Amino acid sequence: MNELKGKVTIILTTHYLDEVEKQADRIAIIDKGKLKIIGTLEELKQHTNLNSLEDIFLRYTEGDI
């Protein structure tokens, strides 16, 4: 996958947040079929004022945001 980075668009779905942090240029959180938030990890942190992807993920999947 790293060899393809920057050459093609890759859509990766996973529940492993550490994998997301290492591999993704942009992150989309989808809950119950609805797109909740999308952006780079830094953009998500700035938008939510949270420092971990896990906390961001929980905010958007455990409530009615």
What pLDDT, on a 0 to 100 scale, did the predictor assign at position 30?
94
The pLDDT score that the predictor gives to residue 64 is 57
Question: Where exactly are the structural domains of the chain?
Answer: 1-65
pLDDT at 1: 76
Give me the numbers of helices (H) and strands (E) for the chain, helices first please.
3, 2
Low pLDDT (below 70) residues in the chain: 63-65
Angle between helical axes of 41-48 and 53-61 (0-180°, round to 10): 60
